[in-house]
Structure 1
Amino acid sequence: MQRLRQIKFLDTLSKKMVAGFLVLIVIGTFLLGMPAAANNGQPTALIDVVFTAASATCITGLTVVNTAEHWSTFGQVVILALSEVGALGYMTFAVLLSNIMRRNMGLSTQLMVKESLNLENLNDTKSVMRYVIGLSVLFQAGGLALLAVDFVPRFGWQRGLYVSLYQAVMSFCNAGFDVFGDSLRSFRSDNYVLIVTMVLIVAGGLGFLVWRDLLLFHERHRLTLNSKLTLLTTISLFIIGFFVLLVTERNLQWLPKGTSLFNRTVNSLFLSVTPRTAGLVTIPTEQLHAGSLLIIMILMFVGGTPGSTAGGIKTTTFGVLMFQSIAQLRGRQDVEFSHRRFSQSNISKALLLVFLASIVITVATLILTQTEAIPKGFGLEYVVFEVLSAFGTVGLSLGLTPHLTVIGKIVIMLLMFIGRVGIFTSLYSLSKRQTKVNLIRYPEENILIG
Structure 2
Amino acid sequence: MNRLSSVQKKLKISPPQFLAMGFTMIIVIGTLLLSLPVASIPGQRLGLLDALFMAASAACVTGLSVVDTSTHFTLFGHIVILVMVQLGGLGFMTMATWFALAWGKRVSLKERLILKEAMNQNYMEGIVRLSRRVIIYSLTVEAAAAVLLALRWASEMPLGKALYYGVFHSISIFNNAGFVLINGSFIAYTNDIYINVITMILIVLGGIGFIVLSDLIEYRRTRRLSLHSKVVLSASGILIVFGGLVIFMMEFSNSLTLGPLNAGGKVLASIYQSVSLRSAGTSTIDITGLRESTQFFMIILMFIGAAPGSTGGGIKVTTFVILIGSVITMMRGREDVVLFRNRLSKEHTYKAIMITFIAIALVVSGAMIMSTTQSHSFLKLLFETTSAFGTVGLSLGLTPELTASGKIVIIIMMFIGRMGALTLAYALQPRIRKELYRHPEGKIIIG
Q: TM-score range by the shorter chain?
A: over 0.9
The corresponding residue for 1:399 is 397
**Cα RMSD, aligned residues only:** 1.8
The corresponding residue for 2:446 is 449
2:259 and 2:296 map into 1 onto residues whose CA distance is: 27
The corresponding residue for 1:5 is none
Match of 2:341 among 328, 339, 342: 339
Matched-pair contact (CA < 8 Å) for 1:252–1:264: no
Match of 1:239 among 238, 241, 246: 241
Write out per-residue CA displacement over residues 85-109 of structure 1, whole angstroms, 9 at most, x where no aligned residue. Answer: 0000001110111122121212222
Match of 1:390 among 365, 369, 388: 388
CA positional deviation for 1:282: 1.3
Match of 1:370 among 369, 372, 375: 372
The corresponding residue for 1:60 is 62
Q: Which moved more, 1:60-69 or 1:290-299?
A: 290-299
Give 5+ residue unaligned stretches, structure 2: 1-10
CA positional deviation for 1:153: 1.7
CA positional deviation for 1:255: 5.8
The corresponding residue for 1:3 is none
The corresponding residue for 2:315 is 313
Instruction: Among all aligned residue pairs of Structure 1 and Structure 2, give the percentage whose two residues are the same amino acid.
Output: 37
Matched-pair contact (CA < 8 Å) for 1:195–1:266: no
SS in structure 2 of the partner of residue 419 of structure 1: helix
CA positional deviation for 1:436: 5.9
1:268 and 1:279 map into 2 onto residues whose CA distance is: 14
SS in structure 2 of the partner of residue 40 of structure 1: coil
The corresponding residue for 2:41 is 39
The corresponding residue for 1:417 is 415
**Mapping of 1:25-424 within 5 angstroms?**
25-250=27-252, 254=256, 259-374=261-376, 379-424=377-422
SS in structure 2 of the partner of residue 94 of structure 1: helix
Give 5+ residue unaligned stretches, structure 1: 1-8
Q: 1:16 to 1:331 in 2, by over 3 A?
A: same
Q: 1:317 to 1:276 in 2, by over 3 A?
A: same
**TM-score, structure 2 normalization:** 0.94
Code of the residue aligned with 2:86 in structure 1: it is E
Write out per-residue CA displacement over residues 266-303 of structure 1, whole angstroms, 9 at most, x where no aligned residue. Answer: 11110111111100011111101122112211110000
CA positional deviation for 1:152: 1.3
Q: Which has the higher contact order (CA 8 A, sep 6+)?
A: 1
SS in structure 2 of the partner of residue 155 of structure 1: coil
1:258 and 1:405 map into 2 onto residues whose CA distance is: 35
Matched-pair contact (CA < 8 Å) for 2:302–2:386: yes
SS in structure 1 of the partner of residue 392 of structure 2: coil
Match of 1:22 among 24, 35, 43: 24
Aligned length in residues: 437
CA positional deviation for 1:251: 6.6
Matched-pair contact (CA < 8 Å) for 1:147–1:193: yes
Matched-pair contact (CA < 8 Å) for 1:392–1:419: yes
Write out per-residue CA displacement over residues 1-22 of structure 1, whole angstroms, 9 at most, x where no aligned residue. Answer: xxxxxxxx99611111001000
Q: 1:382 to 1:339 in 2, by over 3 A?
A: same
